[in-house]
Amino acid sequence: MRFSEIIGNDALKEQLVRMVRSGRLGHAILLTEENGGGAFAFALALAQYVNCREQGPEDSCGVCPSCHKYQKLIHPDLHFVFPVSSSNFLSESEKKGPVSDYFLAPFKELALANPYFTEQMLYDAIGIENKSGLISVNEARRIFEKLSLRAAEGSWKTMIIYLPEKMNLDAANKLLKLLEEPPLGTLFLLVSHNPERLLPTIRSRCQAIALQPLTREQRRSIEGAGQDNADFREIAKSILEAGLAKRIIDLFPQWEMLADLGREKQREWCLYMENYLRKIYLVANGLDGLADLSEQEEATVRSFAGRIKPSFYEKAFANLDAALSSIGANVNPKLVFCDLGNRLLLAL
C-alpha cells in the first residue's frame, strides 16, 4: 500500500516519510487509532516504503518488485500477528494452540479488500465471530523464529502486530525481550486500540504515534456512502419503543438477540446505542446540525426526540457504560442485557 492511497492523516504521511529519509525511524512504532481508523493501512504503507527500491521523496514507487510483493502482501520479509482463537476450520492439533499463521489466507483477503477493517471484521473473517481473540505465548515463539532469520530480500524485516494489547502476559514478556534487543534490520509496527493495556515497558520502547479520528465523510468514502448498521438500529428502536410503551415483554426478543452476539459485537452495539441516543438528545435540544443524521435514521430520531423526557439521557449513558464494563469482565450476557433493558425501561 502507498501513502497516497490512505484516506486522512495527511500530516502523518509526511512525518513518517521524513523519519525514514532522515534515519530517525525507530525499530518499534506504536500506532494508536479508533477501531478501524486506518493505522493498519499506515503500517502497510510504511513497511512498503522502507523496503522500496526506488523510494520517492513522498512515497514508495509502487512499481518495483518489492512494492509489487508488498501490495499483494506476499513479500517474504513482511510478517503478521493478530488475535486468534480456536475455530472449526482448524484441525484438532491446531485447535490446541492456534496462531496467526493458521489464518493468514482469510486475514490477507480481508486486509487487501479493506485495510480499514475493525476488530470484529477480523474475527468474522477468520471464523471466530462469537469469540474474543488472544495473542498467546505460542505466537510469541513464532515471532522469535521468524525474526531470527536474515531478511530474504529487503533491508528490513517487518513484523506488524495488530492489537498487541490482546497478548497474554507470557507473550508480552517475550515481545519485550525482542524490543529490548531487536534483531538487526527489524521493524516492529504495533497497531493498538487500547495502548494503556500494554505493559508500560513495551510502550516505553516504542515511538508512539496517535492517528487523528477519521471524519464522517472520510469514513463514508471508505465504507460506501449511506451505509448504515440496520440491525443495530432496529434493536435500538425496538428497545426504546418497548420502554416508552412500558411493555417489558417486548424487550425479551431484543435481550436474546444481543445476548447471542459475540462480545465484540455486543460492545459495538452498546457504543452504537450511545451514539444513537446522543443524536436524539441533540435533535431534542435543537442542535440538528451537530447530530449528523443519516437518511435511515432521521425519521425515527426526530420521533424519539419529541417523546423522550430530558432526564432519561444521563441515566441511559450510565447504564450503557456499566453494560460495557460488564461485557469486558465476561459477565453472563443474558444478565447484562436483561438488566440493561429493565433499567432503560424504568428510566423512560
pLDDT of 64-117, one tens digit each? 999 999 999 999 999 999 999 887 777 787 888 899 999 999 999 999 999 999
Q: What is the average pLDDT value for the chain, to the nearest integer?
A: 90
Place of cell 527489524: 186
Query: For 243-270, what is the mean pLDDT?
Result: 89
**Model pLDDT for residues 155-186, shown as the tens digit of each residue:** 789 999 999 999 999 999 999 999 998 888 89
Rounded average pLDDT over 245-269: 88
The residue among 235, 251, 348 whose CA lies nearest residue 300 is 235
Q: How far is CA 216 from the centre of its chain?
A: 17
Q: Which residue has the higher pLDDT, 310 or 265?
A: 310
Top CATH class, 3-222: alpha beta
CA-wise closest residue to 330 among 247, 264, 253, 255: 264
Please say whether the beta carbons of 214 and 38 come within 8 A: yes
H or E stretch at 161: strand 157-162
Q: Looking at residues 214-233, what average pLDDT do you find?
A: 70
Give me the mean pLDDT over the 18-45 stretch: 93
Residue 124 pLDDT grade (very low, low, confident, very high; cuts 50, 70, 90):
confident
Local structure of 191: helix, strand or coil: strand
Mean pLDDT, to the nearest integer, of 121-135? 85
Which pTM value belongs to this model? 0.74
Residue 27 has pLDDT above 60, yes or no: yes
Residue with grid cell 505465548, as numbered in its chain: 137
Helix or strand run (H / E) with residue 32: strand 28-32
Domain map (residue ranges) of the chain: 3-222, 229-347
Mean pLDDT over 269-274 rounds to: 91
pLDDT over 70 at 125, yes or no: yes
The Cα–Cα gap between 21 and 193 comes to: 28
Q: What is the C-alpha to C-alpha distance for residues 188 and 346, in angstroms, rounded to an integer? A: 50
Decide if pLDDT at 135 tops 60: yes
Residue type, 126: I
CATH class of 229-347: mainly alpha
> Hey, what's the torsion of the CAs at 100, 212, 120, 330, to 10 degrees?
100
In this prediction, residue 336 carries a pLDDT of: 94
